[in-house]
Amino acid sequence: MRARVTIVPRPEVLDPQGRAVAHALEGLGFGVVKGVRVGRIVDVELSDGLDRQAAEAKLEQMTRELLANLVIEDFRIDWLD
């Protein structure tokens, strides 16, 4: 079973990486860009046969402990299968 953890900067947090990308896109002539926010995804393959609810709890724990910084980031979990 595979899940996708999507991690994005919280709306109220500055995103210097997104700023840099927006600036670079402007420099390339993409004047239609008004803003950019950069996040990441972590696709996790888990042992088959796990209870889905228990697996989702594990994923949430992984995210809190390692994958995301919840002070400045939000996350969501979606199943890919």
Rule CB under 8 A: is residue 30 a binding residue for its own copies? yes
Rule CB under 8 A: is residue 37 a binding residue for its own copies? yes
Rule CB under 8 A: is residue 53 a binding residue for its own copies? no
* Contact call for residues 3 and 44 (beta carbons, < 8 A): yes
Element (H, E) at 58: helix 52-62
Rule CB under 8 A: is residue 74 a binding residue for its own copies? no
Look up residue 59 and give its amino acid: L
* Contact call for residues 59 and 41 (beta carbons, < 8 A): no
Give the residue, chosen from 16, 34, 51, 71, that forms a contact with its own copies under the rule CB under 8 A.
34
Whole-angstrom distance, CA of residue 47 vs CA of residue 69: 25
Quote the least distance from Cβ 71 to its own copies, whole Å.
19
Binding site for its own copies (CB under 8 A): 6, 8, 18, 21, 24-25, 28, 30, 32-47, 50, 55, 58, 61-62, 65-67
